[in-house]
Amino acid sequence: MLISNIGNLEEYTFVPVPPSKCRTDAAYDDRMTEILRIAQTYEPWLDFWELVVQNVSTIASHTATNRPLPEAIMANYQLDEQLLEGCRP
């Protein structure tokens, strides 16, 4: 498993990349977070937080004719600053 190949796992906090749909969207896909949850059952030291959330749902990049620019993606992200306190330095 990939997680077992990462040294000093207790020093890191993983932050999943938000999907193209926001949490309130029926099509929201929490696959990245779920993968981290499953990995944590094998490696209890694994720390992860959903620090970055998407404000508005967008068309998935892989289905769009024109992929959004990184600046456009970032403009739609919001940092949950309250969760920062729980992260590892």
User: What pTM was estimated for this model as a whole?
Assistant: 0.82
Tell me the pLDDT tens digit for each residue of 5-24.
777 888 999 999 999 999 99
Tell me the pLDDT tens digit for each residue of 45-80.
999 999 999 999 998 888 888 888 999 999 999 999
Distance CA 87, CA 29 (A): 23
Which of 32, 35, 30 lies closest to 1 in space, CA to CA?
A: 35
Distance CA 19, CA 58 (A): 9
